[in-house]
Amino acid sequence: MSLKGFLFDLNGVFYEDNKVLYGAVEIITILREKEIPFKFISNNSTLSRRLFTKKLNEIGLNIFENEVFTANYAGFLTAQKLKLKNCKLILNNEAQEDYESLTKNQRKIDGIVIGDIGNSWNYKLMNQLMKNILDGAKIIALHKGKYYQSKGELQIDCGAFIKGLEYVTGEKAIVVGKPSKSFFELAISDWNFREISVVGDDLFNDIKGGNKMGFSTFLVKTGKFREDIFRKSKIRPDYCIESIYKLKDFI
């Protein structure tokens, strides 16, 4: 394979429920020894990039902050690019650190950044966001995930609520996380090559996103992978491997 770099999903690929998966650390070691560039790309929106990197190291992955690119950080870069001045953050407190320069002022709310807030969604919040959007605020969706895995079960993700806001306001969200092209372009903005492979457990966010970019793709059979969903889907990876450990056969 003529690959020069890798983009890795994290949750479900390198760890599950804060436990590092077999072979994950070895793959990182091999890539560093061979001096193959790689980055970890995640739709995580519950932590700032700094805190997310800290968490990854605490569970046993030896990762540097500049190797991590998250939807949360992409949202900040996008809001900056749009020259937004005062964003309402639908984010956990631990994720808001990245946006300090775009909040806490007296200007009119001109952007709403939406990420993962678990079961804190309710009618009152949705109604207030609808009013902000109808008053001109742009919707920045950190991702439109359908579901995620927690404790071995699939859970509804924030994409359902973002779709609802689009429906009632007639406004389209600016999606900055996977599988958007803008996310991948931002993640590799400091790479001067395109021979890249995306490795993930999500057919839509990882595999479809990578395919649309013209990258090669690896689907791992861990994390949120489900055989029945895979069989029914028209999305196909270039390679399907049992786990991240099996990637060593390709590098």
Each residue of 61-90: pLDDT tens digit?
999 999 999 999 999 999 999 999 999 999
Angle (nearest 5°) at CA 48 between 42 and 54: 85
- In this structure, the chain runs to a length of 251
**Tokens representing residue 127 in the block:** 């109604």
For residues 58 and 108, give the distance between their C-alpha atoms in angstroms, rounded to a whole number: 39
Show the CA angle centred on residue 93, arms to residues 90 and 95, nearest 5°.
75
Tell me what pLDDT residue 115 has: 94
Looking at residue 105, what is its pLDDT?
Answer: 77
Distant-in-sequence, close-in-space partners of 53: CB < 8 Å, separation ≥ 6 = 63, 64, 65, 68
Per-residue pLDDT band for 151 (boundaries 50, 70, 90) equals confident
Q: What is the pLDDT of residues 206-237, one digit of tens each?
A: 999 999 999 999 999 999 999 999 999 999 99
Side chain identity, residue 170: G
As a whole number, the mean pLDDT across the chain is 94
The mean pLDDT of 40-59, rounded to a whole number, is 95
The DSSP secondary-structure symbol of 114 reads E
The reported pLDDT for the residue numbered 50 is 96
Percentage above 90 pLDDT, the chain: 87
In this predicted structure, the answer to whether residue 240 has a pLDDT above a threshold of 90 is yes
pLDDT higher than 90, residue 152 = no
Q: Residues 123-135: what's their mean pLDDT?
A: 97
User: Rounded to an integer, what distance in angstroms lies between the CA atom of residue 71 and that of residue 48?
Assistant: 10
DSSP 122-179: -HHHHHHHHHHHHTTPEEEES---SEEEETTEEEE-THHHHHHHHHHH-PPPEE-STT
pLDDT tens-digit map of 89-121: 999 999 999 999 898 778 899 999 999 998 899
What pLDDT is stored for residue 1 in this prediction? 59
Average pLDDT over residues 111-140: 96
Please give the pLDDT value at position 155. 83
